[in-house]
Chains A and B, each alone.
Chain A
Amino acid sequence: MANKVSKTAGTNKSFIDRMGGQQFIVLILVIVMFIFFSAMSPGFRKYTTVVSILDYSYYIALMAIGVTFPLLTAGVDLSIGTGLVCYSLIGGLLVRQYGMPVAVGMLVTVLIGLIFGIINGCLVALMDLPPFLATLCTCMITRGFGAMVVGGYGIPWPAAAQEGGWFRSIFKINVGGQNIPIGFIWIILLVIVMSFVLNHTKMGRYTRAIGSNKEATRLSGVNVKFYHIMAYVICGLFAGLAAIAYSAIFATVQPGSGAGFELDAIGGAIVGGVSMSGAVGSIWGTLIGVFVICLLKTGLPFIGLTANWQQIITGLVLIAAVLFDILKRKKEAGK
């Protein structure tokens, strides 16, 4: 999937591999899940359900697209969940408390995400800290920081009808009483852009190369440190974008929340075929994986399982996906 230049390489591959391997299987899984939930519950077969699945998908998908880059370098970013809440709180505070225009609030939100991305990148690439530990610390720091800045109160970004509420229509517009989830278009656009970045620019090429063999990449004269940091910067940027999506979909943002969001995103990416050991994965795969998670999130209540079950099942799905990846690699190593 890394290059679409020539398809001659695919001649000796199986049907599933030619269709994109794991992504294809997961896409079928998404469809099967959708059919299953629809069959099990009449409530699920509604337009509003589709809209609510999409509502959930935006911020998870944005985080997942971002975290795909650290994952491809064989790292991880655990700070995106609490980070998202922190960025959104600060941006919202500027709008609510200091009366700044919503556009400025949004910009600041993304900017803080970017800054924490740089911090994570430096901790990992320059200071050689283990990625999971470094980002766990920034996870705690963003959580504390966000809550401190707002003083412990939830921040409601402007509602649709209020002044500045226009930003909510980035993701959803109301036409004749019907909600149109146009956010999906932006997600697809961003997936296309980031797919391009991953597959056709130096940035993406070196991200994958670092995950494949960091030392060999360095010996090829690549500025490994810079590109390693950049993977986390992209992740931070997308956590910032996810913060905007989250603020636009949900009425208020609560300080202290956000822990566990990162699991939805990382789980989505891994289910979608991104390997924990780096270098393998695609943005489209991540997107499909995110929909597995979102369908679980929205679908399970329809078959009588509370939202809490979703947490348990996400955990199990994550372990299953990683185990699948480990077994696949073991098989390849034995080949």
Chain B
Amino acid sequence: MGEVILTMKGIDKSFPGVHALDHVDLEIRKGEVHALMGENGAGKSTLMKVLTGIYKKDSGTITYEGKEVEFHNTREAQDAGVVIVHQELNMLGHLTVAQNIFIGREFKKGIRIDDKKMNEEAKKLFDRMHIDIDPTETMSNLTVGKQQMCEIAKAISHKAKVIIFDEPSAALTEAEIEELFKIIRDLRAQDLGIVYISHRMDEIKVITDRVTVMRDGTYVGTLITKDSTKDDIINMMVGRVIYEDPKTKNMTPPGAPVVLKVDHLNAGKMVQDVSFELHKGEVLGFSGLMGAGRTETMRALFGADPIDSGDIYVNGQKVTIKSPQDAVKYGIGYLSEDRKRFGIVVQKTVAENTTMADLDEFANGPFINKKKENEVAQKFVESLATKTPGVDQLVVNLSGGNQQKVVIAKWLTRNCDILIFDEPTRGIDVGAKNEIYKLMNQLAAEGKAIIMVSSEMTEILRMSDRIVVMCEGKKTGELDISEATQENIMNMATREIE
């Protein structure tokens, strides 16, 4: 480890309603790999976005190469040598590797783009990284791993001095990760400062020199990796304080029948051999880190994405679910994590959204019985305590929590017995959160079976009767609430797969 190249001190950043970063510190040295860890929503990405100029900080200082700096956009950061390798790749799939690396700053010979020189330079970059990629290959023909290498090559070609890897290994195979680590070690040897954001504990141990842990937008501490254990880090990540009371025992009535059974479900790369059972009156929590395949499992189960193989049983009957239409027919309702895109039609009214899934019930032949529609919508507005001036209000004008209630009303109108809540409280303020929790408990008590996908540990521990933990597309554990702790869930969620 060499001298300090980058210091972030007392960085503060608020969004409306959220204090995203609360006086966070970070120090990067030349020739080190510095892990940045924390649960989902701890503020890691926000911190990096402040650094690279995507967000403007409210207060605090950034010192880079001995001078105080403030980048206004990624381009400025890039030019100064601070480059981020994104999780989702910013690639032009139809162009070649070399063309991608040098887009926007092509070498020229007169008016002609000097592709030959670009290919040679790209080749040199790859040689320096000791990897074998043909610069003339079309980008979309490469594997995700190789595309990532190209992003790294692009970063290096910017004469980067600090490279930030945002969950680089999420989509890579074991062999590709090995290759990535080799490159990172090379870069370290060349005295670059490297920030490595990852959830994988074992990787952190292998590749990083120091670890900075964040929690709820605050700085927790920095450790020397080789002097600390996995438990040390997990303890720092989860903290000691639990804000809400966790459930202590399984509230499902004993002997409750199985209403949904999923058997060896496979769907794409993110859902591999997932099996579980759901009982009447139960809240089944799905825990895991970002990209664990929980949402993908739910979408496949709901028929939103195609299933490769596996069986689904509803009330003991084997069913074929090929589209959401089928799923709804069997009484499954899905509340998406992304309400605006997948949950509600924002330009329509509360009443119209409420009856969306069950319009046949409200129709006399082709005509909609608006009176009945409004009555039912009004009933749910009251029973769910939705705050809206009226059922004829456009949903776009409601707050997040109330929009969520409209989606719940939609599935209750349809009388679905199995409800899948995917991140039910994302983007919802604390007061409304508690209401949603109360509602879910009430629904479970009424005999609905609920699956709750959540990235918030406190939410999982507070709501679930049982917990399924997923990691990288596979189910890695199942716990009864009585035996669940933050630590053992986190352990399962970060477990490396053999």
Contact = CB atoms under 8 A, between A and B. Distances in A.
B46 interface: no
Given A201-B112, A219-B74, A2 B92 contact: no
Given A208-B95, A222-B103, A9 B134 contact: yes
Interface stretch (B113-121, B225-233, B344-352, B397-405): B113-121
Given A216-B90, A216-B92, A200 B104 contact: no
Chain B interface, DSSP helix/strand/loop, else mixed: loop
A2 B96 contact: yes
A216 B91 contact: yes
A188 B92 CA distance: 30
A196 B113 CA distance: 10
B174 interface: no
A276 to B, nearest CB: 14
A222 B106 CA distance: 11
Interface residues of B, number: 27
Nearest to A203: B111
Contact of A217 (B93, B103, B119, B138): B103
A283 to B, nearest CB: 16
A162 interface: no
Nearest to A223: B104
Interface in B107-140: 108, 111-113, 115-116, 119, 134-138, 140
Given A5-B136, A220-B104, A209 B92 contact: yes
A208 B94 contact: yes
B168 to A, nearest CB: 18
B104 A222 contact: yes
Contact of A213 (B74, B90, B99): B90
A186 B140 CA distance: 35
Contacts of B103: 205, 209, 217, 220, 222
B93 A5 contact: no
Given A205-B106, A222-B103, A213 B113 contact: no
B461 to A, nearest CB: 39
Contacts of A221: 75, 104-105
A174 interface: no
A209 B92 CA distance: 6
A3 B93 CA distance: 15
Given A208-B95, A213-B92, A5 B106 contact: no
Interface in A289-308: none
A279 B99 contact: no
A208 B94 CA distance: 8
A14 interface: no
B379 to A, nearest CB: 41
Nearest to A204: B113
B136 A219 contact: no
Interface residues of A, number: 26
Contact of A219 (B90, B96, B116): B90
A212 B113 contact: no
Contacts of A8: 134, 136
A219 B140 CA distance: 19
A213 B88 CA distance: 13
A211 interface: yes
B115 A5 contact: yes
Contacts of B91: 213, 216
Contacts of A200: 112-113, 115
Contact of A201 (B104, B113, B119, B138): B113
A6 interface: yes
Nearest to A278: B94
A34 B115 CA distance: 38
A221 B105 CA distance: 8
Given A8-B136, A205-B113, A216-B90, A3 B104 contact: no
B111 A201 contact: yes
Interface in B251-269: none
Contacts of A201: 111-113
Contacts of A229: none
B137 A9 contact: yes
30 contacts: A2-B94, A2-B95, A2-B99, A3-B96, A3-B99, A5-B115, A5-B119, A6-B119, A6-B134, A6-B135, A8-B134, A9-B138, A196-B112, A201-B111, A201-B113, A205-B99, A205-B113, A208-B92, A208-B95, A209-B92, A209-B103, A213-B90, A216-B91, A216-B92, A217-B103, A219-B75, A220-B104, A279-B94, A280-B94, A332-B140
Interface of B: 74-75, 90-96, 99, 103-106, 108, 111-113, 115-116, 119, 134-138, 140
Given A2-B138, A6-B136, 12 more contacts: A2-B95, A3-B136, A8-B136, A9-B137, A200-B112, A201-B111, A202-B113, A208-B92, A212-B95, A213-B91, A213-B93, A222-B104
